[in-house]
Structure 1
Amino acid sequence: MNRRHCATAAITLVCALALLTSTGQAAAAPVPDPVPPVSAAPAPLRTTAELEKVREQIETLYRKAGAATDAYNLAEEQTKKQSGELVKLAQAIVDGQTQIAALKDRAGAQAREQYRNGGLPPGAQLALSNDPKLFLDGINKVRQSQQASKSLLAELKQTQQDLETYTQDASANWEKLETGRVKQAKAKKKIDAQIKAAKELESRLEEKEREQLRRLEADAAAQAQSAWLSSGALKDVGGEASAAGATAVAFAMAQIGKPYVWGAEGPGSYDCSGLTSQAWLAAKRPIPRTSQEQWRLLPRIDVQDMRPGDLIIYHADASHVGMYVGDGTIVHAPRPGRDVTLAGAGSMKILGVVRPDR
């Protein structure tokens, strides 16, 4: 029994010594220094050629957004017009219903009058009259009554036809209104997508790259302007602004520094055609809202005949517009992310020139 207790005590002592030795070694072991995270090497900056491609991509996206903005603005104008016509038609329908009710009341009054006369038609009443004077008076009354009845029936019939026409027009205008709303939604979706894509492209650039991108934009515009001037485009240009044109120019110039916002017509921000249409509205000459409609509907003139206040339409799809202010310069709202500013009239591809007050 004593031998068993001794063995057990020996084993316990060995285990304790082993545990103490292990713990002491663990405590004595040096703690390794934390390994610093490996930082990724900065990506090399894009070359000028690569940035030029990015610039062209961004420009294309914003041009597509500009075209979609025109579609949106046109749909919005059409929707406003249809809404206004619907209000007028609704009032016309109410007026027509009121008129029909009044005519029916008059017809009912005539029927009641005939009933009070015994239900006999005027001709029969005349035949029963023995007084020649009454007979002659009766003839006149019969004629007047017949004419009044015919007029009343004709008026009632015409009013009913007008009411049917108003109702049909209202239905057609409602369909146009809904079509316009669908066009607006589609155009807005395109605009948002194009602007988002352009902003994402630009956001991937480093600060230095964005600065260089701006320089590339300025260089491209300067080169285009220089080529345009070298072509002799301004050789015979020297017309003076009309009184209305001068007012429009003054308004547009006063907006310099305000941001471009698509669909905006001021006073705090503008898109390209919002600026030109509001400038001419300030000159008391309302013009179409969009650059495409301005190109389609306003009188066109040759470049050499332009004068301050005239509108220069850009790109093959007429998706941009600026106002000529003289000396080969325009004032315009360029694109999202930019402010209303002055630029060379030839810094973009010119489609043509229109004059709002011709």
Structure 2
Amino acid sequence: MKRRHCATAAITLVCALTVLTAPVEAFAAPSPPSPTASRHASDSESLTGTKTGAKAKKPPKAPKPKKKSLEEVRKEIEALYHKAGAATDAYNLAAEKAKKQSDEIVRLARAIVAGRAKITELKSQAGAQAREQYRSGGLPPGAQFMLSDDPQLFLDGVSRIREGQQAARGVLGELNRTQQNLETYSKDASANWEKLEASRLKQAEAKKKIKEQIAAAKKLESRLEKDERARLLKLEREAAYKMQTAWLGSGVLKDINREASESGKRAVAFATSQIGKPYVWGAEGPDSYDCSGLTSQAWAAAGRPIPRTSQEQWRLLPRIAIKDMRPGDLIIYHDDASHVGMYIGDGAIVHAPRPGRDVTLAGAGSMRILGVVRPDK
């Protein structure tokens, strides 16, 4: 009886220990395990970190991303190239400013060299006058004639004194002016160096953005199959045709029948002769162009230099109404003036579209028009 009581107490103790060491989420006390089962369970837990018989939960599968439609891809690529175009304009503007600042620094450097040479010459003249005065006893040459009893010599002396004084004042005055100019040149050169560095930083930043946007657009296109790329090109043309048709349907062309000016004809002839050459950002010819590189070079060839970038062309050139447009005028596109084409008549433009495309003809209304400017107004 006593033995049976001890055995019962032992079993009760084992059950209590099992309950106390079980995980928190196990609410029900298990039946007393056999020593062998307990050993196997312990071994299994030490190897797998889970209880025997418990099924490991599989992580939920991530939902597959919804595949974009070809039209969505087209719009995304278009947006990327638009951003690249805006960055290209910023790059070109920074490059133009850097060139002007470099030219100004060179001009100032030459002025500083000339000024220093002039100061050396003036100091030499002042020194010669001082030495002459010392040799004559501290009196200018003319003053010695004033000591003479001869009236004519006296008058000559007065005249020479005046001339000497004027010459001395002239040398000193010119010396002071030259020194002041040198100080101004030096300050201007320092300011231009700072501006030049700022322009170079802007160039580098814009260049990075251009490369990033173009790389992203090319990556999107590279993921497409051959037939998808063909369909993408078709979608681009259809979108441009739709906008052009709507623009023409507004009756905008009925009042546009003006002839080009002589310089406008030369600009159009130059621009159309570049058809087929590739777009390259920052390029101004002769083998490749970006959009404003083409228009600025066309008008330079016509004898009318204009600003380099589309944004500066929009900002600085005279604006005209669309109804008054004539061949040779420049049409500025998008709200940020990041694209430009040259109107050639009959509702068409010649332009350099974007990376991966060549200089070509397009409908003047195939993109959103911001306004029109005339280089030879």
TM-score calculated relative to the size of structure 2: 0.80
- Partner Cα distance (1:280, 1:323) in 2: 10
Query: Which of residues 155, 158, 167 is equivalent to 1:139?
Result: 158
Partner residue, 1:101: 120
Q: CA offsets per residue over residues 46-93 of structure 1, 9 Å max, x none?
A: x99711100000000000000000000011111111111111111100
- Distance between the aligned counterparts of 1:245 and 1:149, measured in 2? 59
1:110 counterpart residue number: 129
Structure 2 partner of 1:266 = 285
Partner of 2:313: 294
* Partner in structure 2 of residue 340 of structure 1: 359
How far residue 124 of structure 1 moved from its aligned partner, in angstroms, is 6.8
Runs of 4+ residues over 6 Å off in structure 1: none
Distance 1:127 1:250, change over 3 A: closer
Partner Cα separation in structure 2 for residue 352 and residue 124 of structure 1? 76
1:119 is displaced (CA, Å) by 2.3
Residue deviations 1:180-204, cap 9 Å, x none? 1111111101101111111111111
2:210 to 182, 191, 197: 191
Report the Cα distance in structure 1 between the residues aligned to 2:140 and 2:297, rounded to whole angstroms. Answer: 68
Select which of 74, 86, 91 maps to 1:72.
91
- Deviation of 1:150 (Å): 1.0
State the secondary structure of the residue aligned to 1:334.
coil
Judge conservation of contact 2:92–2:282 (CA < 8 Å) in 1: yes
- CA distance in structure 2 between the aligned counterparts of 1:84 and 1:282, rounded to whole angstroms: 23
1:54 partner letter? V
SS in structure 2 of the partner of residue 270 of structure 1: coil
Structure 2: gaps of 5 or more residues: 1-65
Identity across matched positions, percent? 72
1:252 aligns with 2:271: yes
Distance 1:48 1:234 in 2: 41
Is the contact between residue 279 and residue 358 of structure 2 (CA under 8 Å) also seen in structure 1? yes
Closer, same or farther: CA 250–124 of 1 in aligned 2, 3 Å:
closer
Relative contact order higher in (CA < 8 Å, ≥ 6 apart): 1
Structure 1 residue identity aligned to 2:323 = Q
In structure 1, what residue type is equivalent to 2:232? Answer: L
The Cα shift of 1:132 comes to 3.3
- CA apart distance, 1:130: 3.8
Q: Indicate which of 225, 246, 257 corresponds to 1:238.
A: 257
Inter-partner Cα distance in structure 1 for 2:204 and 2:267: 32
Distance 1:162 1:75 in 2: 29
The Cα shift of 1:136 comes to 2.2
Q: Distance in 1 between matches of 2:154 and 2:262?
A: 75
| Residue 221 (structure 1) aligned with residue 221 (structure 2) | no
CA positional deviation for 1:151: 1.1
Matches within 5 A, 1:1-358: 50-120=69-139, 125=144, 128-358=147-377
Equivalent residues of 2:143, 2:157 under 8 A apart: no
Deviation at 1:126, TM superposition (A): 5.7
In 1, are the aligned partners of 2:326 and 2:344 still within 8 Å (CA)? Answer: yes
Residue in 2 that maps onto 1:37: none
Deviation at 1:143, TM superposition (A): 1.0
2:141 & 2:269 partners in 1: Cα distance?
76
Could you tell which deviates more after superposition, 116-125 or 228-237? 116-125
Contact 2:146–2:155 (CA<8 Å) still a contact in 1?
Answer: no
Separation (CA, whole Å) in 1 of partners of 2:76 and 2:156: 92
Give the Å deviation of 1:123. Answer: 8.6
C-alpha spacing 1:56/1:174, structure 2 compared with 1 (3 Å): same
What is the CA–CA distance in structure 2 between the aligned matches of 1:207 and 1:319, rounded to whole Å?
30
Distance 2:241 2:226 in 1: 23
Aligned partner of 2:131: which letter?
A: R
Quote the RMSD (CA, aligned, Å): 1.7
Q: TM-score, normalised by structure 1?
A: 0.84
1:193-248 deviations in Å (ceiling 9; x for gaps):
11111111111111111111001000000001011111111121110111111111
Distance in 1 (CA, whole Å) between partners of 2:299 and 2:143 is 72
What is the total number of aligned residue pairs between the two structures? 313
Match of 2:284, as an amino acid?
Answer: E
Equivalent residue number for residue 41 of structure 1: none
Q: In structure 2, what is the Cα distance between the partners aligned to 1:269 and 1:291?
A: 17
Contact 2:267 2:299 (C-alpha < 8 Å) held by counterparts: yes
Contact 2:140 2:161 in 1 (8 A): no
How big is the shift at 1:115?
A: 1.2
Superposed CA deviations along residues 253-287 of structure 1, whole A, max 9, x for unmatched, are 11111100000011111000001111111111111
Separation in 2, partners of 1:351, 1:143: 69
